[in-house]
């Protein structure tokens, strides 16, 4: 079985995940663990890929809280 080459991330969140050697599922679990909130894997995937650019400030704050980063570090 051949592994696909991963392309360079298109979003700041994608870059952050890559730098921290995390996958989207890791972020999903971290959000639940650190915040007690849930952001769907589909929503995380769309944010990471850049398909979803207009998400709520609450979603952004939740991701930032879980990753220990600021909004400026997250938002493109």
From residue 58, how far is each of 3, 18, 55 by CA, in Å? 36, 23, 8
Structural domain includes residue 57: yes
pTM as predicted:
0.87
Structural domain includes residue 8: no
**What's the whole-number mean pLDDT along residues 38-43?**
97
Quote the domain boundaries for residue 26. Answer: 21-74
**68: Cα separation from own chain's centroid:** 12
Give yes or no for residue 76 having a pLDDT over 60.
yes
% of the chain exceeding 90 in pLDDT: 82
Which residues, including other chains, have CB under 8 Å from residue 76's CB and lie 6 or more apart? 11, 12, 53
Structural domain includes residue 27: yes
**56: Cα separation from own chain's centroid:** 14
Task: Give the whole-angstrom CA distance, residue 45 versus residue 17.
Answer: 12
Structural domain includes residue 2: no
């Amino acid at each position: 079985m051949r592994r696909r080459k991963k392309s360079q991330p298109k979003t700041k969140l994608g870059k952050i995940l890559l730098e921290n050697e995390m996958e989207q599922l890791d972020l999903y679990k971290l959000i639940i663990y650190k915040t007690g909130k849930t952001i769907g894997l589909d929503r995380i995937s769309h944010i990471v890929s850049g398909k979803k650019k207009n998400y709520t400030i609450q979603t952004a704050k939740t991701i930032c809280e879980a990753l220990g980063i600021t909004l400026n570090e997250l938002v493109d």
